[in-house]
């Protein structure tokens, strides 16, 4: 069977991971990746054998001077594919939309874009079927993805209201220009944009989100309080349900995982086990001791790896758009198997 | 009128500030301070002219070798005072209780001790009158003090339930041994101890607290969601009420105060203005833009300076115990005037 | 005697401190300060009673809207003074030069400007006399000031060569936008600009400087290795010499001062003692145990408070330009007495 | 040919990496690993299929309760091997020495132990042949390994003196208890222990080392100034020599690698390419622009990944002790090929 031809435009934090993930799918073909500058990430594309194209205002001469062979410009790449994953910086995706439409390729955008960049917003556990047949989708941002996955689980018990405090990492690990170095910066816009954003997936979700930014590069942590309509009997039921849901990991007491540093240590430890990509944690991460059920009130922490959590969602978005899988569950299972994503 | 004689045992982060504050009260006399080790803080006591006593297992010879004159041992100091403020490290206060009782001096403990160390827990705005005539009081911890002050304001509108996420600073500025350096550590005990602790002041408060620890040394930040029974008409009413309450500062838009680093910058800027002690922010700090009222749901951030917020509370605790002031408001006004504590 | 009339243009980290310092000199009069935006720092100027002028593209209307009374524009201020201290951001000082010349006022620039912005570069201990009678001076930057002061001491023993590794703070405390949060960034330009810059004070100094940037906001630390021509007998001689030199503090073993966090804690502790401004450490800070003499090789650490170390230098620069003091030592002594600057 | 049987005692930061490395050698057999506590790292050992033994005071019951099958106690493991790599915490290795001797197994210790724990200290590029036939070796610590490798290169040009400032990471990524969070702490013992330690490899090296600790978890950075006796003609010669030496990587201008955060990003990117283990950078890392030759004075930065740099050295130490390789170069080449260690 011919594989669907995929391009990735933007090869930074998200783009390079999506490219790796696409390359591992049996029903997808990574035709090439596009980048504007010949830095270490472009070098990585070449090392992985991904045909490299020059995007935007990039100069092929600079790539040549850096010893990096290029296969053409973004427009050339777009001429060869069925769909492009846009992983360019915030707001650039919208600028690229005309290019993609002119080339008659479908497009998957990231959550840094406004919702109306695409026909629908997407989260695999949340609204896979809404993505079917669409010509464009937007995978919601890392924090919204984490919330949407949790919503997909919690809604079985009825959500009467949901408060989330997002304790956000200030920068990705290699973003050396961003602060703060020492301090906490509240996001004074209230509610934060995450609540409205998750309602692009679950329109009626009674959720209120508030955010602060803190000096760390590893992961976000969400502090949740959910009033359930029909709660399960015990917190252990919540734990069991989460452990049986794809893309959730719940650490047990005694494992020595106290915070996000140990979560990322485990992620590094697992690299190479079961096909997992190095250092990434594509699952929602919870702590068993950090899940408390008090009558109808459920409290829990979850940690979200901002660099990688949307990666499997991008793969599933493509499958939904082109109806490549018989069901949501089949798509998720295929993606997770190929990437070594766990649950448990 | 003879002034009440006060000792401060422990001259670290809290003790040195309480000593300064006591020394500025017209109705209190700072008789001396006690410390175990002759480091830079002991040096500061001498520089300020506070008689220095050797506490616990400390060695007078080591103080002498460091050129620091001492006036005796803790027991000597206790023989000269009416009350001691215990500002020793967590759990040491309880060990000291027998000493204080044997010396027949009343005692003010800090929030690091369990509640039953003293006859009552104390917060000036919260329960000043409960402190009257007591032989021992416990000033609740920095975070609990911040919450109790806010409760004293909010209860006028009826509190149906209150969620607080405490984003906690991991160490004080000079605590170089404590981490984490890069990461977020959730406090997996749920609810965190702060909720039960604030109920030592307001026994029926329907509050749930959850905490995470983040890599900063400056201030805690609380993220609050309160369901009010009888809310005011607008968020502006909340702002106005807070601005007219002692020990609250609300930053306006346009002041350029984005997060805790700028709050502490303002604190440093104000040092020396109106009698304020350097670099401290003894008020609850809020942001006008960070106060949102949505029907009966009130959302707000507040920042708490862990080093200093309990300082005025210790002074008021002494006044309450010995009935030195005609009323709560009079005590608070006297303390705040002497320390340059603002509201507005 | 009529006092020399001084303006301060720029009221940020350096400007606000210089203004305070000028206001405390008996031979200088702070006529006003200028600022472009009505944030918390402008508010501080008003609280201190400094006439406030609107600089550059700033809008008097915005100051009025913020409730901040202004006395005019920068040009008005320049018309009333003999000298302006330019404490504007890097490179803006150069742009301002024409304004100052047109107003026929002398000017003191900061070290963020290139050396040729002024007739000479200046450091009080280093080359006070070179500043006499000049119409413009440039106070060298914080790191260069720290090195120049040390050079003024070390040259008595002959410096054959000097290596400095500058471990630089990445941001000032309130600069929340700057990183890195977790990592070390070497300054790949070698030698760093500090070596050439210190030669604007000591033209023949055989110094090589190298720098790295690290995630802290408190102080820089210099790691020094100096080959001396005629070393003193012991490290204790070096310590004694430093302790008897203005603007040097050497911490003794046993004081418990392990690193820059405790240095800044001491600075906060000393605020209000002997006229010291809050939280600042205007002296070069050394550790007695961190001074080692091995034959002709002297090794030492020194910590430099980037926010304040140049403040006394600006005052002395004005005195030198207008020949207000009988000697270098007299100017330094007057400045230090007024600001509570220690040595010892 | 029968493979040499190897145990790893201690399965933390270093031990787990050494175990992985041993498991990849065709001439070594990883018989088992020992650990005291059943946390996430023990779980990793099981997941990788490494027989797990209980060390020290550890309780087999606790492992069983955590669902982790154990194969026995450390003593059982020692009975089955020819050599043990001791990767236990500092000073525990020395306590273990009697166990190893009683079991008649040879031992490789880590650099946290004093030099006299073993017959010789070891660095592969530095003194491979000194390890031949020894019954015990000590692989020098991460910083000393980095310096020793550089020394092995630089000595061809004659080293007249060498100053190193070590800018040290304060904690490993998952060590959440260690600080400082905001500040620089000088190592007041001068010279730091690194200079004497590197002379366990190169006894006559005229090196002076000084250290500071900074708030980062990623890598150390060394700032070097070397006076060479017979320098090469240009810095480009130094670069070329380093690039042709095993275990050195030199980043070129234009790659966008500015500091340790990007170095570790590249390390993560390369995981899975050419057999590299995730997220590790076992090479000395330099920057081409950060290498300057000024006559006989060579200046350079190098970054050292504290978690992994000693891993290949442990493998080579085993080969040297048992004379498993025909030469130093052959051992290094075999190790590097198996682990995907680059040079260039």
Q: Are residues C63 and C98 in the same domain?
A: yes
Of B174, B265, B272, which has the smallest distance from its Cβ to C261's Cβ?
B174
- Do you find a cis peptide bond into B182, omega within 30 degrees of 0? no
> Of the candidates C269, A90, A317, which has an alpha carbon nearest to the alpha carbon of residue B50?
C269
Which residues are paired to A120 by β-bridges?
A: A137
Q: Are residues A183 and A323 in the same domain?
A: no
Which one of C143, C164, C165, C306 would you mutate to disrupt binding with D, by most D Cβ within 10 Å of its Cβ?
A: C165
- Which of D22, D81, D92, D142 is an active site residue? D142
Q: Which residue of C has its CA nearest to A214?
A: C181
User: Does any domain span residue C344?
Assistant: no
d(C-alpha C42, C-alpha C34), whole Å: 9
- Which residues in chain D have Cβ-Cβ distances shorter than 8 Å to A65? 254
- Residue A142 is a catalytic residue: yes
Is the pLDDT confidence value at B275 over 80? Answer: no
Is the pLDDT confidence value at A236 over 90? Answer: yes
pLDDT at position C277, please? 66
User: Does any domain span residue D123?
Assistant: yes
User: Does any domain span residue B240?
Assistant: yes
- Which of B7, B85, B105, B142 is an active site residue? B142
% of chain B exceeding 70 in pLDDT: 99
Of A167, A185, A221, which has the smallest distance from its Cβ to B259's Cβ?
A185
- Which residues in chain C have Cβ-Cβ distances shorter than 8 Å to B270? 44, 47
- Which residues in chain B have Cβ-Cβ distances shorter than 8 Å to A165? 165, 167, 210, 223
Contact C223 D212 (CB under 8 A): yes
User: Could you list the residue range(s) of the whole structural domain that residue C262 is in?
Assistant: 142-304
Using 50, 70 and 90 to split pLDDT, how confident is the model at B246? very high
Is the pLDDT confidence value at B272 over 80? Answer: no
Residue A324 to residues A19, A33, A315, D291, Cα–Cα distance (Å): 18, 22, 11, 53
**Which residues of B have a CB under 8 Å from any CB of C?**
16, 37-41, 43-44, 47-48, 62, 65-66, 173-176, 181-182, 217, 251, 254-259, 261-262, 264-266, 268-273, 277-279
User: Does any domain span residue B344?
Assistant: no
User: Does any domain span residue D11?
Assistant: yes
Between chain B and chain D, how many beta carbons pairs sit less than 8 Å apart?
51
Of A176, A183, A185, which has the smallest distance from its Cβ to C179's Cβ?
A176
pLDDT at position D275, please? 73
Which one of B35, B169, B269, B307 would you mutate to disrupt binding with C, by most C Cβ within 10 Å of its Cβ?
A: B269
Contact C176 A179 (CB under 8 A): yes
Q: How many domains does chain B have?
A: 2
- Which of A85, A118, A142, A235 is an active site residue? A142
d(C-alpha A48, C-alpha A21), whole Å: 12
Residue D192 to residues B219, C48, D90, Cα–Cα distance (Å): 35, 47, 17
Which one of D176, D185, D214 would you mutate to disrupt binding with B, by most B Cβ within 10 Å of its Cβ?
A: D176
pLDDT at position D277, please? 66
Q: Name the average pLDDT for chain A.
A: 96
% of chain C exceeding 90 in pLDDT: 95
Q: Are residues C297 and C182 in the same domain?
A: yes
Which one of C239, C258, C259 would you mutate to disrupt binding with D, by most D Cβ within 10 Å of its Cβ?
A: C259
Contact B175 C41 (CB under 8 A): no
d(C-alpha A242, C-alpha B110), whole Å: 41
Q: Which two tokens stand for residue A308?
A: 């990688």
- Which residues in chain C have Cβ-Cβ distances shorter than 8 Å to A175? 179
Higher per-residue pLDDT: D275 or D123: D123
pLDDT at position B273, please? 78
Model pLDDT for residues A238-276, shown as the tens digit of each residue: 999 999 999 999 999 999 999 999 999 999 998 877 778
Question: How many C-alpha atoms does C308 have within 13 Å on its Cβ side?
Answer: 26
pLDDT at position B278, please? 65
Q: How far is D37 from chain A (nearest CA, A)?
A: 9
Q: Residue C250: left if φ>0, alpha if ψ -120 to 50, beta else—which one?
A: beta
d(C-alpha D201, C-alpha D121), whole Å: 6
Q: Which residue of C has its CA nearest to A183?
A: C176
d(C-alpha C159, C-alpha C155), whole Å: 6
Do the Cβ atoms of B109 and B89 come closer than 8 Å? no
User: Does any domain span residue A40?
Assistant: yes
pLDDT at position C278, please? 66
Q: Which two tokens stand for residue C21?
A: 């310092």
Model pLDDT for residues D289-340, shown as the tens digit of each residue: 999 999 999 999 999 999 999 999 999 999 999 999 999 999 999 999 999 9
Using 50, 70 and 90 to split pLDDT, how confident is the model at A134? very high
Q: How far is A262 from chain B (nearest CA, A)?
A: 9
Q: Which DSSP helix (H) or strand (E) runs through D319? A: helix D311-321
User: Does any domain span residue D344?
Assistant: no
CA D14 to chain centre: 8
Using 50, 70 and 90 to split pLDDT, how confident is the model at D106? very high
Model pLDDT for residues D176-224, shown as the tens digit of each residue: 999 999 999 999 999 999 999 999 999 999 999 999 999 999 999 999 9
Residue B136 burial (CB count, 10 A): 23
Q: Residue C323: left if φ>0, alpha if ψ -120 to 50, beta else—which one?
A: left
Q: Which two tokens stand for residue C91?
A: 């490179």
Residue in the block written with tokens 């301090």: A183
Q: Name the average pLDDT for chain B.
A: 96
Q: Are residues D83 and D206 in the same domain?
A: no
- Which residues in chain A have Cβ-Cβ distances shorter than 8 Å to C179? 170-171, 175-179, 181
**What CATH number is given to the structural domain containing C260?**
3.30.360.10
Do the Cβ atoms of B88 and B11 come closer than 8 Å? no
pLDDT at position A74, please? 98
Q: Which chains touch C (3 or more CB pairs under 8 A)?
A: A, B, D
Q: Are residues B93 and B149 in the same domain?
A: no
Q: Are residues C200 and C267 in the same domain?
A: yes
Residue in the block written with tokens 């500091």: D259
- Which residues in chain D have Cβ-Cβ distances shorter than 8 Å to C223? 165, 186, 210, 212
Q: Are residues C288 and C326 in the same domain?
A: no
Do the Cβ atoms of C104 and C128 come closer than 8 Å? no
CA A22 to chain centre: 14
Q: Are residues D226 and D319 in the same domain?
A: no
Model pLDDT for residues B54-69, shown as the tens digit of each residue: 999 999 999 999 999 9
β-pairing verdict for B4-9 and B83-86 = parallel
Q: How far is A125 from chain C (nearest CA, A)?
A: 33
Is the pLDDT confidence value at D79 over 80? Answer: yes
Q: Are residues A55 and A105 in the same domain?
A: yes
pLDDT at position C123, please? 98
Q: Name the average pLDDT for chain D.
A: 96
User: Does any domain span residue B171?
Assistant: yes
CB neighbour list of residue D266: distance below 8 Å, 6 or more residues apart? A40, A44, D257, D281
Q: Are residues B63 and B163 in the same domain?
A: no
pLDDT at position D276, please? 80
pLDDT at position A1, please? 61
Q: Which two tokens stand for residue D201?
A: 């490899």
Model pLDDT for residues D22-62, shown as the tens digit of each residue: 999 999 999 999 999 999 999 999 999 999 999 999 999 99
Using 50, 70 and 90 to split pLDDT, how confident is the model at B277? low
* Mean pLDDT, residues C173-194: 96
Q: Are residues A127 and A233 in the same domain?
A: no
Of B186, B208, B290, which has the smallest distance from its Cβ to A221's Cβ?
B186
pLDDT at position B1, please? 62
Of C175, C183, C185, which has the smallest distance from its Cβ to A179's Cβ?
C175
d(C-alpha C282, C-alpha C21), whole Å: 11
Q: Are residues A128 and A251 in the same domain?
A: no
pLDDT at position C1, please? 61
Using 50, 70 and 90 to split pLDDT, how confident is the model at A277? low
* Mean pLDDT, residues B10-16: 97
**What CATH number is given to the structural domain containing A30?**
3.40.50.720
Q: How far is A179 from chain C (nearest CA, A)?
A: 4
ipTM > 0.85 (yes/no): yes
């Amino acid at each position: 069977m011919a594989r669907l031809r995929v391009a990735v435009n933007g090869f930074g934090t998200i783009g390079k991971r999506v490219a790796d993930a696409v390359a591992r799918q049996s029903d997808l073909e990574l035709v090439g990746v596009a980048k504007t500058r010949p830095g270490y990430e472009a070098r990585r594309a070449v090392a992985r054998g991904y045909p490299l194209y020059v995007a935007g205002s990039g100069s092929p001469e600079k790539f040549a001077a850096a010893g990096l062979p290029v296969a053409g410009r973004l427009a050339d790449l777009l001429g060869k594919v069925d769909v492009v994953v846009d992983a360019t910086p915030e707001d650039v995706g919208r600028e690229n939309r005309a290019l993609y439409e002119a080339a008659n390729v479908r497009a998957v955008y990231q959550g840094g874009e406004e919702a109306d960049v695409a026909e629908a917003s997407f989260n695999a556990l949340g609204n896979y079927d809404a993505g079917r047949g669409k010509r464009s989708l937007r995978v919601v941002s890392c924090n919204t993805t984490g919330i949407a996955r949790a919503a997909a689980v919690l809604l079985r018990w009825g959500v009467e209201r949901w408060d989330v405090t997002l304790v956000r990492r200030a920068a990705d690990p290699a973003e050396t220009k961003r602060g703060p170095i020492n301090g906490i910066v509240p996001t004074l816009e209230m509610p934060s944009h995450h609540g409205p954003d998750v309602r692009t997936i679950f329109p009626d979700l009674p959720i209120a989100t508030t955010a602060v930014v803190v000096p760390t590069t590893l992961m976000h942590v969400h502090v949740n309080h959910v009033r359930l309509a029909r709660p399960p009997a015990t917190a252990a039921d919540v734990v069991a349900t989460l452990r049986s849901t794809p893309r959730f990991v719940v650490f047990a007491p005694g494992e020595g995982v106290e915070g996000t540093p140990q979560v990322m240590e485990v992620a590094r430890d697992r690299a190479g086990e079961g096909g997992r990509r190095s250092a990434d944690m594509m699952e929602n991460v919870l702590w068993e001791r950090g899940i408390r059920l008090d009558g109808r009130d459920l409290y829990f922490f979850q940690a979200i790896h901002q660099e990688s959590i949307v990666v499997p969602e991008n793969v599933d978005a493509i499958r939904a758009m082109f109806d490549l899988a018989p069901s949501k569950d089949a798509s998720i299972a295929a993606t997770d198997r190929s990437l070594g994503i766990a649950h448990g």
